[in-house]
Chains A and B, each alone.
Chain A
Amino acid sequence: MSFRKIYSLLLVFVMVISIAGCGGGSSDKPTSKQKASNENNGTERKYEGEKLVVWSFTDELLPAKEAFEEEYGCEVEVSITPNEDYPQTIKPVLESGQGAPDVFTAEAGYVLDFVNADYYENLSQPPYHADALKNDYVDYVYATGSDYDGNVRALSWQMTTGGIFYRRSVAKEVFGTDDPKAIGDKLSSLDKLFQTAEELNAAGYRIFSGEADLRWFTNPDQIPWVDENNRLTIPDSRIDYLDYSKRLRDEELTALATEWSPAWFGGMYGPIQVGESGEETTVFAYALPTWGLHYVLKTSTPEETADGETPKNPTWGDWAVTSGPCSYYWGGTWLGVYKNSKKKEMAWDFVKFIAHDEEPFLYDWLKETGDVTSILSIQEKYAEGFEESFLGGQNHVKFFIEGGKAIDPKRMTKYDKDLDNYWNSARDDYINGLKTKEEAIQGFKEAAKAAYPDIQIN
């Protein structure tokens, strides 16, 4: 590979896409943006002529940007960098302060790293007093945005609780019911889940599209990877996961599709053929979080038709969501104020605008997107009346809100993403027959030590 290629790759890494503004669609119903602007008529446009710079890895903030601009008569510049490159791109900027944003977001995978690196303003201090907002949030979301000393550094309007989405028609055929509670009971522990998987196999179905879905249910006791004494902890449930994974493989209980591969998506809208030698099968369920409904399941459709139209997912209405062996969360966006920002007041107003204050924007925006909120004070009102047609009229918001309350914030560590990856790598070594279970665990410990020398490993 030539030096020129490395260099151009680096350039791509540091490239930041600046979004100057986006057009919005019109509808009969007033949107959150329109409402924010209507309510602002006659009020003081506090930040008239000023500009706020926001950096993010996601375009979720764009509606908030527009509404905030209307509300305060200012300009908000949102720069978006893809998530894979975002931490590497923003860190040097936050370090040096050169061209740093006033507000920036962090994703679940590195938010703990960011809130403890002294990049975010301490929002527990005056004049913010954000710790007074503690009771407004679901525990895990509030705790994740706080540093090790308990100071609030970042907030989030959303929670990303996970569940198991399943096909109602398959449930009815195999189990005689499609009731989420009844199906939830059949998946309430890993033993029950395997029993259910075997029943599905006997009927010609596969419980999951791929083997990766099982990983969310490996730590029911919510024990953190690294304890308060900085010691690596591997609970029995995680070790059992290796055996369960092996059983999943040996008995071919899943359709063996790789997560995010075309076949994996294919199972969301129709039967898939498991390998050239395998039979065609319908996938029963997917373990996905809140955003999985809107951004993955609903948008998975067969290929475009000849006239260029994308057909609707043909399984629309045949889904429901229920709980698995334990609660989990997947992803999430937090945001806070840069500690050296020169516009801290404006930045804090923006953070509250999108991540706390019900009016004038947040509530209506949530209703539009169907995003599940972490803000307790509006959860109940918000959850009322949701009937998701994709899920056959089920109120998924209520379900996810309950799931979010069960997540113990103490389970999270800044090592989670990498250690999860290494643990899954150890699982692969074991189920592919490359290592014995003990060797795989030992290999995991060695890899963890090489990556994080400060962790104590027995």
Chain B
Amino acid sequence: MKKKDKYGYLFIAPFFVVFIVFNIYPILLTLFYTLTNYKGYGEYQMVGLDNWGKMLTDKFFGQAILNTWKIWGPNILIQLGLALILVVIFVDLKWKIKALGFFRTIFYLPNLITLASVAMLFTAILNWKYGSLNQILVTLGLANTEINWFGKPITAQMWVSTIQAWMWFGNSFIILMAGAQGLSKDYFEAARVDGANRFQIFFGILLPLLKPILLYVFITSLIGGMQLFELPLLMSTDNGLGGPSNSLNTMILYMYNQGFRFKNFGYASTIAYGVFILTAVFSVIGYKLMYGKGGVNE
């Protein structure tokens, strides 16, 4: 029998060591904490499934799930919509837009600004009585008086959603554009010869062929969106608690506050698992909705 060389295991060991120490161990430890009343320090007792029961009946967690969706939902529509429009413009054979690299950089720029700066920037722009947006609106006569954007849940959520879309549409555009450039020009040329208009080309050729890429953008955005945290933390009106009226209290913000602020570490661990389960479920649902049973290759 041929002797097996075991050196290979040695070479792949570093990855597994790091993976076990920094991924598997924390994941299992967090699972263990869900069964305790650990406060992040000191002694703790086992409390069974109390934290899980609490999470299922927690009104604030329910609100946090809804808030996350209310912010992520419009954001993905704007983000993908805008990115797709740009892709259509750039792949159009007739228009032949030049300097794609330049535009790609420009569209991607918002993504490079640190979130803290983005939050500060928009907090200043959207300030009720002193923000430049309200000053422009009033000067142009588009509003009678300044709008208190962060005085109402709907406008606060709308703005966080818009900022999120503004930051990420460039990223989606780059990925979709790369996908579109990989498509054979023959389809588009043939369609043109057959007399198809832009709408027919978009819905009949571009969109179906881009579906796998769209799915990728959609699912990664969903996973990222479910973890929405920094903007709500930095822009909420009550020092990071998720105001106005709890409307910016997203799932991860709620987990963070429960764990690090209120020191309900055990419960925060449970929320972490809750968020994981929900994200997995939503991802599967999103996938099925887009592709039905057969998946991408249907």
Chain B 248-292, CB-CB to A under 8 Å as 1, else 0, gives 000000000110111010000000000000000000000000000
Q: Are B245 and A256 in contact (CB under 8 A)?
A: no
Chain A 383-427, CB-CB to B under 8 Å as 1, else 0, gives 000000000000000000000000000000000001001101100
Main secondary structure of the interface of B (DSSP, over half): loop
Contacts A91-B40, A261-B130, A432-B148; A446 near B257 (Cβ below 8 A):
no
Please give the distance in Å from B135's CB to the nearest CB on chain A. Answer: 5
Chain A 112-123, CB-CB to B under 8 Å as 1, else 0, gives 000001100000
Q: Are B40 and A425 in contact (CB under 8 A)?
A: no
Chain A 418-441, CB-CB to B under 8 Å as 1, else 0, gives 100110110011001011000000
Contacting residues, chain B, for A262 (C-beta < 8 A):
124, 130
Chain A 442-458, CB-CB to B under 8 Å as 1, else 0, gives 01001100111100000
Contacting residues, chain B, for A452 (C-beta < 8 A):
262
Closest to B242 in A: A425
Please give the distance in Å from B241's CB to the nearest CB on chain A. Answer: 6
Q: Are A277 and B138 in contact (CB under 8 A)?
A: yes
Chain B 124-140, CB-CB to A under 8 Å as 1, else 0, gives 10011110001100110
Closest to A432 in B: B151
Task: Report A94-112 residues with CB < 8 Å from chain B CB.
Answer: 94-95
Stretch from B85-93, B186-194, B197-205, B223-231 contacting the other chain: B223-231
The answer, yes or no, to whether A232 is at the interface (CB within 8 Å) is no
The answer, yes or no, to whether B152 is at the interface (CB within 8 Å) is yes
Stretch from A1-9, A309-317, A323-331 contacting the other chain: A1-9
Once bound together, how far apart are the Cα atoms of A1 and B253, in whole Å? 14
Contacts A428-B238, A434-B244; A1 near B227 (Cβ below 8 A):
yes
Please give the distance in Å from B277's CB to the nearest CB on chain A. Answer: 18
Q: Are B42 and A428 in contact (CB under 8 A)?
A: no
Please give the distance in Å from B245's CB to the nearest CB on chain A. Answer: 5
Once bound together, how far apart are the Cα atoms of A261 and B41, in whole Å? 36
The answer, yes or no, to whether A177 is at the interface (CB within 8 Å) is no
The answer, yes or no, to whether B181 is at the interface (CB within 8 Å) is no
Q: Are A276 and B238 in contact (CB under 8 A)?
A: no
Interface size class of B (residues with CB under 8 A): 35 or more
Which of B127, B227, B230, B257 meets A258, CB within 8 Å? B127
The answer, yes or no, to whether B239 is at the interface (CB within 8 Å) is yes
Once bound together, how far apart are the Cα atoms of A94 and B139, in whole Å? 55
Contacts A1-B224, A276-B146, A451-B257; A432 near B129 (Cβ below 8 A):
no
Task: Report B77-121 residues with CB < 8 Å from chain A CB.
Answer: 115
The answer, yes or no, to whether B30 is at the interface (CB within 8 Å) is no
The answer, yes or no, to whether B170 is at the interface (CB within 8 Å) is no
Please give the distance in Å from A120's CB to the nearest CB on chain B. Answer: 13
Q: Are B227 and A88 in contact (CB under 8 A)?
A: no
Q: Are A425 and B241 in contact (CB under 8 A)?
A: yes
Q: Are A428 and B243 in contact (CB under 8 A)?
A: yes
23 contacts between A and B (CB under 8 A): A88-B260, A91-B40, A94-B41, A118-B42, A258-B130, A261-B123, A263-B127, A263-B129, A275-B130, A275-B134, A276-B138, A418-B261, A418-B262, A421-B239, A421-B241, A425-B237, A429-B244, A429-B245, A443-B246, A450-B58, A451-B257, A451-B261, A451-B264
- Which A residues form the contact surface with B (CB < 8 A)? 1-2, 5-6, 9, 87-88, 91, 94-95, 117-118, 255-258, 261-263, 272, 274-278, 418, 421-422, 424-425, 428-429, 432, 434-435, 443, 446-447, 450-453
Sorted from nearest, which 10 A-B pairs have the closest CB atoms? A276-B138, A263-B130, A425-B238, A275-B129, A432-B151, A451-B262, A1-B224, A276-B135, A256-B129, A425-B243
- Which B residues form the contact surface with A (CB < 8 A)? 40-42, 58-60, 115, 123-124, 127-130, 134-135, 138-139, 145-146, 148, 151-153, 224, 227-230, 237-239, 241, 243-246, 257-258, 260-262, 264
A261-B130, A418-B262, A450-B60 known; 6 new pairs, CB 8 Å cut-off, are A9-B230, A276-B135, A277-B146, A418-B241, A425-B246, A432-B151
